[in-house]
Amino acid sequence: MDDLFAPSDVSWTPVSPKLATVRRLNAAIMFGLLAIAGLLLFGLLMDWLYGVLALVVAAIGLAWSWVLIGRNQRSWKYAEREDELLVSHGIMFRQLVVVPYGRMQFVDVAAGPLERAFDLATVELHTATPATDAKIPGLHPDEAARLRDRLSALGQAQAWGL
Task: Convert the pLDDT of each residue in 70-104 to its tens digit.
Answer: 999 999 999 998 888 999 999 889 999 888 888 88
Mean pLDDT of the chain: 87
What is the SS3 assignment for 8? Answer: coil
What pLDDT score does 1 carry? 41
Say if CB 150 and CB 80 are below 8 A apart.
Answer: yes
Q: Give yes or no for residue 141 having a pLDDT over 90.
A: yes
- pLDDT greater at residue 12 or residue 105: 12
**How far is Cα 98 from Cα 78, in angstroms, rounded to an integer?**
10
H helices of the chain, in order, are: 18-45, 48-75, 113-117, 141-160
Of 53-57, 89-93, 113-117, 140-144, give the lowest mean pLDDT range: 53-57
Percent over 90 (pLDDT), the chain = 50
Q: Give yes or no for residue 142 having a pLDDT over 70.
A: yes
pLDDT band at 159 (very low <50, low <70, confident <90, very high): low
For range 115-138, the mean pLDDT: 89
For range 21-28, the mean pLDDT: 95
